[in-house]
Amino acid sequence: MKQNTPEWLEMRKKFVGASDAPIIMGVSPWMTPYKLGRQKLSLDPEVKKTTRMQRGLALEDAARQWFYKETGILVLPEVVFSDEHDFMMASLDGLDSTKECALEIKCPDPEGDDHALALMGMVPEKYYPQLQHQMIVLKLEKMFYLSFDGKEGALIEVQRDNEYIAILITKEKEFYEWIRNQTLPPLTEKDYLQREDQEWINVVEEYNSVYNSLKALEEKEKDLKEKLIKLAGSSNAKGHGLSVFRTFRKGNIDYNQIPELQSINLESYRKKPTEFWTVRKA
């Protein structure tokens, strides 16, 4: 499958990809698991390509050519799927014909921190999970990371980190289950817009005042309701425009106890998630 096509974008929603790994591990500066979940469930549109992303795509071919001149290994972009973890895939910048040599290309600002780290032989933290994810899918013990400035590159051989991979697989499985069950991952601190302006403060104070008044009235209502039920005794009663009577409600069906449904995946019948807002006092 060709990368960066509508079919590829739609297919990625059904899997956990290598570029999802930094987000799931909480080291991405651009996105959170919650926002990624919204994209996977088609609640938000795909993120438009930024100038940084467009620069990277434009320089990828030149970076692969530079890699070939340095190593003598010809690599091409390829989409691969894990045969061990059915929820994992990876869209590789470069893979050789033997599938034993993989390449991840980044084309950062030549004057920026990411390229400076690569020149010192270090992979930026925000890309480390992506490389480990690719090694999981390909079952490799090492792969290459290339930071390419447009003319020259800093090439790093990255080793498989099994201790880190164990954590990564656990977190990716958890994320995949949320999406498979049409559920959004929990919000993180990065998902909140911090507001301290006076307009926000004024509305919050008014809301808190109303909230506290409603809570006090709810407690009073509960107390009076209990008194009325006690006064009614064991009979229905009415008077002065108010009635007190007993009703019975059917219990919910426990679908897990129905043998005929045990072999049926009920999740396939679940409707798409609906969005609602919650206002909660800290």
What does the pLDDT read at residue 270? 76
C-alpha to C-alpha distances, 128 to 18, 26, 59, 226, nearest whole angstrom? 10, 12, 21, 60
DSSP code of 87? T
Q: In the predicted model, what is the mean pLDDT of residues 155-160?
A: 98
Query: What domains does the chain contain, in order, with CATH numbers?
Result: 6-190 (3.90.320.10)
User: What is the mean predicted confidence (pLDDT) over 39-58?
Assistant: 84
Q: Are 171 and 33 in contact (CB under 8 A)?
A: no
CA angle 70–75–78, rounded 5-degree value = 155
pLDDT at 179 over 80: yes
pLDDT score for 186: 92
Find out whether 18 and 28 touch, Cβ atoms under 8 Å.
no
228-262 pLDDT tens trace: 999 999 899 999 999 999 988 888 888 888 888 88
pLDDT on residue 204 = 94
The pLDDT value given to residue 147: 97
pLDDT higher than threshold 90 for residue 277: no
Structure tokens belonging to residue 107 = 């084309």
pLDDT at 177 over 80: yes
Q: Residue 105 carries which side chain, given as an amino acid letter?
A: I
Residues 6+ apart with CB under 8 A from 138: 80, 90, 95, 99, 102
Is residue 170 pLDDT above 90, yes or no? yes
For residue 174, give Cα distances in angstroms to 24, 179, 207, 241, 249: 9, 9, 36, 54, 36
Q: What is the mean pLDDT of residues 134-140?
A: 98
Q: What is the pLDDT of residues 186-233, one digit of tens each?
A: 998 889 888 899 999 999 999 999 999 999 999 999 999 999 999 999
**Is the pLDDT assigned to residue 50 strictly greater than 80?**
no
pLDDT at site 144: 98
